[in-house]
Each structure stands twice: as C-alpha cells, then as structure tokens.
Amino acid sequence: MAALRARAVLLTGSNRGIGLELVKQLLGGPRPPAWIFATCRDPEGPRAQELRDLASRHPNLVLVKLDVADPSAIISAVKIVEGKLNGAGLNLLINNAGIYAPATLDTVDSEEMIRAYKTNAVGPLLMAQAFLPLLKKAARESTDKGLSCSKAAIINISTIMGSIEKTSESFFKPVISYRCSKAALNMLTKCQALTYEETGILCVALHPGWVKTDMGTQEADLTADTSVRGLLSVLPILSEKHSGSLLNWEGKAIPW
C-alpha cells in the first residue's frame, strides 16, 4: 500500500473529534511527518489537554493558536509555521475545522448563515490563500511527477450533506446553514483544483462518513478511529485524476 511521505502537515480544528484523531494517527503512523502543525482555537484551554499531552511526548508536533474565522489569526499562524519550517515548504494543508447547527428553513437567520460560511467555507478559502506560498514551495522542492499529498495538497474535510445530488437522501436533517456552507466548500475545492493544478497542488474534498464525535453524536456509524484510518489510507493514493472531486473515507467518489 502507498505511504504518505508528507514532511510537513498542518491541520485546523485539531483539539478534538476527527482533527485530534488525525493528529494521533499521523504521529503513530509508519512515516510520521517531520512537522505536524496542529492548530486550534485555544491551545492553552481545557479542550486542548490531550493535544498538549501529545505535544509533550512528540517534538515534531507543534501547537498553533488559530481561529479559522479570524483572518488576522490566519496571517499570524502562517508566520509561526514559516519560522519553524525554516525555508522548507508545507506539503499538506487539511482544512478540518467545522461547525454544525440544527437550523431549518424556518429557524435559520442571517447570523447563523454567516457564522457557518465564515468557518466552513471562508476559513478554508483564506487558509489556502495564506498558506499558498508555502504549498507552492513544497511543490517546487519535490521531484515527484504529477500531483500528490506527499508533494503539495489542500484537503478540505467536507460532507455528503454538501452534495446537491444526494440531498434528498438525508433531508430529514435539513441543517440548512451546514449544507449550504459545505456546498460552497465543495465549489471552492473545484475552483482551487482548477487554479492550483499548474503550480503542482492537489485539491480534494473528503467526506469522513458519519462519525462518533461531538458533531456526529454517539449515534453515528463510524468511530473516529475507523474514519481516520480510512482517510489516511485514501490520502496516499490521491493523484491528479482525483483533484477537484469529492470522495468518501473509503476513496469512493460522491457526486456534487
């Protein structure tokens, strides 16, 4: 099986749920990255205790404060990451942070729509813009042919709930702000893939499945361990033929 050879990886929302599990499995994998930048809103707070414990045992894990809904925080995070990389590039940006609210067409309001867009769509857009020079640097440094997550990639953690074609299958949960903001994230992924292809950066949206986390609840189908094992086995097989698509945790394509 192909292995992920990314030297530097950055994740958002990595203090709990799928983000934290990604950090744990990247650290415990066969080829741990030289740098894992685990970002979260409050690295000093009680909800980042597990992440701090991991960082105390793994010198390649760097905690960075980052609220993806705050453009100035994104710029500050780039400076910290750039300093640590000391001239090297960033291979893999995983936009994982996300929010979900049980809003229906009757109850949703402009504040909730804007809140969801800021975190789920605008945040990933600004993250990619800000980290683009470091991603381009990684693409230039690589001798690999084609596109890959080991070379340079943007992975947007999306959801099947952002698929317009699949909406009727799960519309018993309307979650309007979540669906619309994730559909926007899917469109963003396609636009990023078409734009960044020529600079050697792969762009893919991944659906992790319905996962037992605070967001997914304990009723969900998959444990975070199973979902993340799947996601991490999909990353190394991604190539230019997948760029600009939405795939699930098993690598199966989901229609837009």
Question: Can you read off the two tokens belonging to residue 243?
Answer: 């760029």
Give the angle subtended at the CA of 30 by the CAs of 144 and 95, to the nearest 5°: 65
Q: CB of 95: closest distance to ligand NAP in angstroms?
A: 8
* Closer by beta carbon to ligand NAP, 96 or else 200: 96
Q: Is 247 left (phi over 0), alpha (psi -120 to 50) or beta?
A: beta
Q: CB of 176: closest distance to ligand NAP in angstroms?
A: 14
Binding residues for ligand NAP (CB under 6 A):
12-13, 15-19, 40-42, 47, 67-69, 96-99, 119, 157, 159, 207-208, 210-211, 213-216, 220
Question: Can you read off the two tokens belonging to residue 256?
Answer: 């837009």
Closest CA to 236 of 144, 127, 137: 144
* Closer by beta carbon to ligand NAP, 73 or else 135: 73
Place of tokens 């997914």: 216
Q: CB of 48: closest distance to ligand NAP in angstroms?
A: 8
Q: CB of 65: closest distance to ligand NAP in angstroms?
A: 10
Distance, in Å, from the CA atom of 246 to the CA atom of 241, rounded to the nearest integer, reads 12
Residues facing residue 10 across a β-bridge: 37, 93
Q: CB of 216: closest distance to ligand NAP in angstroms?
A: 3
* Closer by beta carbon to ligand NAP, 27 or else 215: 215
Host H or E run for residue 74: helix 71-85
* Closer by beta carbon to ligand NAP, 17 or else 200: 17
Question: Can you read off the two tokens belonging to residue 248?
Answer: 């699930």
Burial class (CB in 10 A: 0-12, 13-18, 19+), 52: middle
Instruction: Give, in order, the Cα–Cα distances in Å from 69 to each of 126, 177, 179.
Output: 9, 15, 18
* Closer by beta carbon to ligand NAP, 4 or else 40: 40
Q: CB of 61: closest distance to ligand NAP in angstroms?
A: 15
* Closer by beta carbon to ligand NAP, 47 or else 136: 47
